[in-house]
Chain A
Amino acid sequence: MMSLVLRKELLELRRSPVLLLSMASLPATVVAVPVALLAWLVRVAPEQALLFAQDIYGLRAADPALGVAMVLARNWLPMFLVLPIFLPILLAAQSIGGERERRTLEPLLATPVRTLSIILGKSLAALVPALGITWIAAALFCAGIDVVVGKPLLPDAAWLFGTLLLAPLLALFGNATAVVVSARVLDPRAAQNLAATTVLPLLGLLVVQLAGRIALGPRFYFALAAGVAVADVALIFVAVKLFDRERLLTRQ
């Protein structure tokens, strides 16, 4: 049953070019802007610009281009942790409210399919494309940086940990949050906006780090992974509990 729901959701997504485009636009920007900026700093900008960037982050590297690239790689990693939270929200926030808006919820709930199958099917349908897009974007970013600096700088251990372990956990977190919100706030747009606020703490950390105030290290990422894993289990449990068939159909 779960695989049926998943297959149907993916089929619908494949036939929604606008939604796919909107999902791809943010990752494209996240990759293109920093790589283009680094390329400009290294290849085109006057030397003072590179030295200015070194001064901001207190770098004393023999190769200024490599030093700035390393800082950029470290500082930009949280952005690739925001993506797997944000992208599934675009889909998952529509999961229940969208079905209700299109009046497909009642026929779906009238079938003998179990609540857990509906939630897991819809969640996987949001996670798979979100993670796929995140991983493609991360691969393009790493390749872009390597090409600009002319050395195989990325992916390093932090990037591998972040994209391969943290990203799926965060994607699950974003999705489960969206499903929980969607089960209570039935307007899909309101659910999307509300669920999207979960990226704000990570975005805040990104901004502070970009300003050179903090440097997030391995301890932070390990703690984040553990915390998010616990939150994921709790959120899935809450999502199943909140999925009340009668309430979903009757609530205005």
Chain B
Amino acid sequence: MFGLLGPNGAGKTTTLRMLAGLYAPDAGSATVAGETIAPGRAGSGRLRARVGLLTESPGFYDRLTARENLAYFGGLYGARPQKADELLERFGLREHAARPFAELSRGMKQKLAIARALVHEPAVVFLDEPTVGLDPEATREVRSVVADLARERRTIVLCTHHLEEVERLCARAAFVAGRLVAVHEMRVSELLRVDLAAPFAPLVSRGPEGRHAIDGALRGLCRSVRAEGSSLFIEPIAEVPDIVAALVQAGARIAAVTPHKDPLEDAWLSLLAEARAE
């Protein structure tokens, strides 16, 4: 799963629409599911048949039932007739299949829209802000559906404002701010964060002796050690219990040990600042 991040008006939705064959790029080209998108020409019907697009709003017909809506779009995509029912079952919508779309809850509507993006078993799925405007309960439901898709190792491009969604679900994320600013690799800089209790804090934060003691205790156990306040950020080589034991032996009182990822938010804000400065 690939994340697409950017501020409002950065061009995320436009990019998705270009990649899904709705818009023609002014310049540049792209290849999606083996189909080429060239300047001045929107993607062909063949491309649209090979990608699934979750649009910003669900976009179904109020007077048609959930099943009729899904079967209609499935038909337009040339999907198997049974596929609509399979997806209704999978997303827990079977009981609501005969209800008019207008009567469904927001979460159900969004799940139905995700089902539509999958109804023709596309090679690539584009999800545009899948949780925007949803209440916390619906957000949780939809996130769980998206997480399931991620676990299936489908090719998915997720466009969202929620950094934690990208951190949790995506292998890589692109920052867009009018142009592609950077591509961020997730989980490459995972660190071990050790929160130290007060008695140890003076040892690490005040005076070179403290730092010497830590460096001495962790020699050979870590690739690098960085101290921030009463926290240590350690790139471990040895097993975590061995590192903890070494620190305790050096006199540390350890409050918590947690895996720590390089915060995406920091990366995001600094990239945005750079993009705006240019």
Residues of chain A having any CB pair with chain B under 8 Å: 1, 4-5, 8, 11-12, 15-16, 102-114, 245-246, 249-250
Contacts and interface: CB of A to CB of B under 8 A. Distances in A.
A28 to B, nearest CB: 24
Contacts of B68: 8, 11
Given A4-B72, A111-B48, A112-B77, A106 B22 contact: yes
A224 B40 CA distance: 42
Interface in B11-56: 17, 20-24, 42, 45-46, 48-49, 53, 55-56
A103 B24 contact: no
Contacts of B55: 103, 106-107, 110
B22 A15 contact: no
B57 A103 contact: yes
A109 B42 CA distance: 12
Contacts of B77: 111-112
Interface of B: 17, 20-24, 42, 45-46, 48-49, 53, 55-64, 68, 72-73, 75-78, 113, 116
A246 B26 CA distance: 12
A107 B78 CA distance: 15
Could you tell me the dominant secondary structure of chain B's interface residues? loop
A1 B59 contact: no
B22 A12 contact: no
A15 B62 CA distance: 10
A245 B21 CA distance: 10
13 contacts: A4-B75, A11-B63, A12-B64, A15-B64, A103-B55, A106-B59, A108-B76, A109-B22, A110-B53, A110-B55, A112-B45, A246-B24, A249-B17
Nearest to B49: A112
B63 A12 contact: yes
Given A8-B61, A107-B73, A112 B46 contact: yes
Closest 6 CB pairs of A and B: A112-B45, A111-B76, A112-B49, A15-B63, A107-B59, A112-B48
Given A107-B53, A112-B77, A246 B23 contact: yes
Contacts of B45: 112-114
Nearest to B78: A112
Contacts of A4: 72, 75-76
A107 B63 CA distance: 17
A105 B55 CA distance: 10
B66 to A, nearest CB: 14
Contact of A246 (B42, B57, B116): B42
Contacts of A110: 20-22, 48, 53, 55
Nearest to A109: B22
Give the residue among B53, B55, B56 with the most A Cβ atoms within 10 A: B55
Chain A CB within 10 Å — which of B20, B23, B59 has the most? B59
B22 A246 contact: yes
Given A103-B55, A111-B77, 10 more contacts: A1-B76, A11-B63, A106-B53, A106-B59, A107-B73, A107-B116, A110-B48, A110-B55, A112-B49, A112-B78
Contacts of A8: 61, 64, 68, 72
